[in-house]
Structure 1
Amino acid sequence: MTAELQTALLLLLLLEIKHLFADFFLQTPRMLSGRGQYAHLGRAQHAGLHAVFSVCALLICGAPLVFVVILCLAELVVHYHIDWAKGVHSDKTGYTPTDPGYWRAFGIDQLLHQLTYIAMVWAWAVFTL
């Protein structure tokens, strides 16, 4: 296995670990409230937390600082909008964890975040190797 592939897998692993913590362990009540509002401080804080942890992951993997800042700002914007869209959907449908529609929306939300991480690893490979 090449060093580049090892680093790409390490980066993906670090992004997955940060996702676990930022999405499931470190959300505050402010981050969880008002998800369907567009301009929402809690959602901005949540997306910012993801971006800060991604900065750490990318720096650990040796990415250049300018690249890291640009990529993580893009992630912040994408993450914010994925969560906002899910919040709007949740507000419109009123689904709860007992509804299959809740779990479909949750799954789509998580898939979009995972695809974001794949895109980030791709960008790292294309622009830093």
Structure 2
Amino acid sequence: MPATLGTVLLLLCALQIKHMFADFYLQTPKMLSGRGEYLHVGRAQHAAVHVVGSVVVFLIFGAPLSFILIIGALEWIVHFNIDFAKASYSDKKQLQPDQAAFWRAAGLDQCLHNLTYIAMAWAWVEFVAR
């Protein structure tokens, strides 16, 4: 698939839709509890749900399996650590939804995930869609 502006925007839209479902519809209680611990199985599962969604998106966009495996592994590592940083900070500060700092932390978390998708789209353009 060629890397036209329209295709890149569609890729970013697909990654955003995937993100919405993985972050807001497909999280289980196990994924949401105890997130302040670094080695958290639920967070690992949550990051894996994101990777599965990205695999589907990149398959639709014609990425080869080697690219998908590399980008998926990198996304898992990045997503896991972004979520840990937010959870750890939120726990240390005892943030609650009625506090502005809670929403700043949530906003930064989402911003970092969005920047990850921009990097993933760049990699697709650079290494796949040439």
Q: Same fold (TM over 0.5)?
A: yes
Distance 1:84-1:127 versus aligned 2 partners, 3 A rule: same
TM-score, normalised via structure 2 length: 0.95
The number of equivalent residue pairs is 128
The superposition leaves residues 65-124 of structure 1 with CA deviations (integer Å, 9 ceiling, x where unpaired) of 100110011000000000000111011001100000000000000000000000000000
Q: Indicate the residue corresponding to 2:75 in structure 1.
A: 75
**Is the Cα contact below 8 Å between 1:34 and 1:40 reproduced in 2?**
yes
Equivalences for 1:12-51 in 2 at 5 Å? 12-51=12-51
How many angstroms does 1:6 deviate by? 2.3
How many angstroms does 1:3 deviate by? 5.7
Equivalences for 1:65-104 in 2 at 5 Å? 65-104=65-104
**Is the Cα contact below 8 Å between 1:10 and 1:61 reproduced in 2?**
no
**Is the Cα contact below 8 Å between 2:35 and 2:84 reproduced in 1?**
yes
Q: Indicate the residue corresponding to 2:114 in structure 1.
A: 114
Higher-helix-fraction structure: 1
Percentage of matched positions with identical amino acids: 58
Q: Indicate the residue corresponding to 1:55 in structure 2.
A: 55
User: Which sections of structure 1, spanning at least 5 residues, go unmatched?
Assistant: none
Structure 1 residue runs of 4+, over 4 Å off? none
SS of the residue 1:34 aligns to: coil
TM-score, normalised via structure 1 length: 0.96
Q: Does 1:10 align with 2:10?
A: yes
2:10 aligned partner, one-letter code: L
User: Which sections of structure 2, spanning at least 5 residues, go unmatched?
Assistant: none
